[in-house]
Structure 1
Amino acid sequence: MLEFFSIAASIVAADAAAKAAQVKLIEIRLGMGIGGKSYITLTGDVGSVKAAVEVGANAVAQTGMLLNKEIIPSPKKEVFNNLL
């Protein structure tokens, strides 16, 4: 997951992450009602996800719009199913 302070940063990071590694974007949530915050979730093998998250975070790092990034290896099935 990558969380941002702006919608534009989320889109830029999602594009960079998807191009960087063999990952599948689960969702790009654009937060119109939450002050413009947004987040992306993606899945794939742990190495690919780590690479994609780093590239996505670095794509917007200089803008100051990155809020947080987390990698959850092998999430519990119920958590994963609620992301879809």
Structure 2
Amino acid sequence: MRALKAIIALLFVLAGISLGALNQQTISIDLFFVRYQAHLGLALLLCVLAGAVIGGALASISLLTDKAAVPKSAKTIPESGKSA
């Protein structure tokens, strides 16, 4: 399983390198107050990374709120047949 994860990670790294190498055009990014000059490949990679981080954060927030919504009585398993 570790080898499979390493191979998949390597494929993503190679795809990112080829994306950056094949898109060498310079673009202008205007953020209202600031203007940046960057390569198209770098801008694409940063946008994909930002989307993955934001998506992961939203998914983890939704998982945490789902766990918090479960009442305590549903979390505990009643013991049957035992007396104190």
| TM bin (shorter chain) | under 0.3
Greater C-alpha radius of gyration: 2
Name whichever structure is richer in strand by fraction: 1
Output the TM-score relative to the length of structure 1: 0.27
Scaled by the length of structure 2, the TM-score of the pair is 0.27
